[in-house]
Amino acid sequence: MSKRIAFLGLGTMGAPMAGHLARAGHRVTVYNRTAATAEAWLARHAGLGVALALTPAEAAQKQDAVLACVGNDRDLEEVVLGERGALAAMEPGALFVDHTTVSPALARKIADVAQARGLLALDAPVSGGQAGAENGTLSVMAGGSAEAFAAASPILDAFSARIVHIGAAGAGQAAKAVNQLCIAGTLAGLSEGLRFAQASGLDLDRVLEAISGGAAQSWQMVNRWPTMARGEFDFGFAIDWMRKDLAIALADAKAHGLPLPVADLVDGFYAEIQAAGGGRQDTSALVRHWPEIAP
């Protein structure tokens, strides 16, 4: 069933996600802080019943659902709870879904404000990167009420291959932290393995063929080993974003009294690459921390 949907944030992830919603037949109104980006998106989707709003509040008026995918906690607070934020303009019974990766604490705060206004709210960060957003195959981990999840699922189907209700408000964001911690550890092991193979003079393609069929196999191995070997890092999920996400995980773990030594170590490696100008490179550029040693 066609819905009236506002989408806030048309970055690397948000733009294709909003596009999938428009092509699915929903009436989509978009907002982006950089107006030129929103106008370009509108031009690409002309004829699909799309519209442009100048503020988050304007975008949210008379919508069945408002979805957001912005940069960080501060950005999300501004577009959702700010002076011209979306929540205050939404009608009771409407749905708010946040796809930004932010702190669980902010997700719970938004859920509380939404509930007080008679709104449904879901924190629903995604995994799958730019390719997943473009291909409509994202994995969504959701936190919020069962009612909010039920209302959101048919909408999120437009760009998702998997949607899982993790638990109460904030649980989706906590699960996303788990996701990023696992990726960081996997990439560290993959980087060391690849450099060891190079130092040993092994054929990297044959090594990949052999070990990707066994217990070492992972998405990162299958999709990033070849590009890491070639020194290609101009795609996917940027180190800048990963460090933002790891900061959330490390801060939350500290509040729980839980040490995360591997994540802390990998975050330090990423900081080195970031300082050397590699912050916009894909997270697989972690391999740059280890020098390439000839056999």
pLDDT at 295: 87
CATH 3.40.50.720 occupies which residues in the chain?
Answer: 4-168
Interval 177-204 mean pLDDT? 98
Buried-exposed string 171-185: b where 16+ CB fall within 10 A, e elsewhere: bbbbbbbebbbebbe
Q: What residue spans in the chain does CATH classification 1.10.1040.10 cover?
A: 175-289
* Cα 53 to the center of its chain, rounded Å: 23
Supply the pLDDT for residue 294: 86
* Closest of 248, 231, 212, 245 to residue 282, by C-alpha: 231
Catalytic residue set: 176
Q: Can you read off the two tokens belonging to residue 165? A: 């209700």
- For residue 200, name the pLDDT band (cuts at 50, 70, 90): very high
| Spatial separation of the C-alpha atoms in residues 36 and 224, rounded to whole Å | 33
Tokens of 1: 């069933």
Tell me the pLDDT tens digit for each residue of 224-269: 999 999 999 998 799 999 999 999 999 999 999 999 999 999 999 9
DSSP classification of residue 233: -
Asked if residue 141 has pLDDT above 90, the reply is yes
Instruction: Say how far apart CA 66 and CA 219 lie, in whole Å.
Output: 31
pLDDT at 226: 97
Task: For the domain made up of 175-289, give the CATH fold.
Answer: N-(1-d-carboxylethyl)-l-norvaline Dehydrogenase; domain 2 (1.10.1040)
Q: What's the rounded Cα separation, in Å, for the pair 207 and 228?
A: 14
Per-residue model confidence (pLDDT) at position 235: 83
Helices (H), the chain: 14-23, 35-44, 56-60, 73-81, 104-116, 129-135, 146-156, 171-199, 204-211, 219-230, 239-256, 261-273
Domain 4-168 carries which CATH code? 3.40.50.720
Instruction: Name the residue type at position 162.
Output: R
Map tokens 């904030």 to a residue. 170
Q: What is the pTM of this model?
A: 0.94
Alpha-carbon torsion (281, 282, 287, 289), positive or negative: positive
Q: Counting beta carbons within 10 angstroms of the beta carbon of residue 26, is it exposed (0 to 12), middle (13 to 18) or buried (19 or more)?
A: buried
